[in-house]
Copies of this chain bind each other. A is one copy, B any other.
Amino acid sequence: METKKDSTEDKILEAAKNVFVTKGMEGARMQEIADEAGINKALLHYYFRSKERLFEAIFTGIINMAFPKIMDILRSDAGIVTKIELVIDAYIDLLLKHPFIPGFVMKELNRDPSGLFKLVVKFGLNPRVVFDQLQEAMERGEIIRMKPQHLAANIISMCVFPFAARPILSFVMFRDDPVALEAFYSERATVIKQFVINAIVIKK
């Protein structure tokens, strides 16, 4: 069946995503969402009972986009270094396509962390799996010893933070030169992989 992609509901979801993502839950206005969708406020409440519910639809949709692919890599049977490289590639690839995600997710999780609980159980996300894999690689002498939490934090930080802090980066480092900024982001995956490997891989 040919999905009618510009049904009213889809237009609302698209508009809501844009507004929520740039303004956040508190800053977003139902009027603005309605305008951007080309309809009126009443229809928003007809499709989604409240602003809260509309927001939840957008938020979980965005999270759904980010988690599963990473999980697949972690569950594969590649070597630890390859896994790390694949995770970095997947992360940066996602962020290049949706650079707004980090700022949005962090803002909303700081506002109301309770939503995180539901998502973690929903995805059966258990970081123990990650930490154990890192620990074993350390004990095999493949990578240097450190608390797995620190290693994970280092990698995720280098991937995510430059996107979350985009305005600062853009202005302070690149004086708002968009070409230089995009070049920088496109180089991130390569740079981070090299940086991490230099830092942790034990040469035979």
Give the B-binding residues of A (Cβ under 8 A).
23-24, 26-27, 103, 106-107, 109-111, 113, 116-117, 120, 125, 127, 144, 146-147, 149-150, 152-154, 156-158, 160-162, 164-169, 171-174, 184, 187-188, 191-192, 194-196, 198-200
Q: A154, B195: Cβ atoms under 8 Å? A: yes
Q: B27, A111: Cβ atoms under 8 Å? A: yes
- Given known pairs A116-B168, A120-B172, A198-B200, the reply for A158 and B147 (CB within 8 Å) is no
Chain B residues in 8 Å Cβ range of A198 = 144, 198-200
Chain B residues in 8 Å Cβ range of A24 = 24, 26, 107, 111
Cα distance A22–B125 in the bound complex, in angstroms: 27
Cα distance A200–B194 in the bound complex, in angstroms: 10
Cα distance A146–B144 in the bound complex, in angstroms: 23
- A172 — nearest CB in chain B belongs to which residue? B127
Q: B187, A150: Cβ atoms under 8 Å? A: yes
Q: How many Å from the CB of A117 to the closest CB on chain B?
A: 7
Chain B residues in 8 Å Cβ range of A199 = 195-196, 198-199
- Please pick, from B109, B111, B146, B196, the residue contacting A191 in the complex, using a CB distance under 8 A: B146
Chain B residues in 8 Å Cβ range of A23 = 111
Cα distance A26–B196 in the bound complex, in angstroms: 38
- Given known pairs A26-B26, A154-B192, A198-B198, the reply for A168 and B109 (CB within 8 Å) is yes
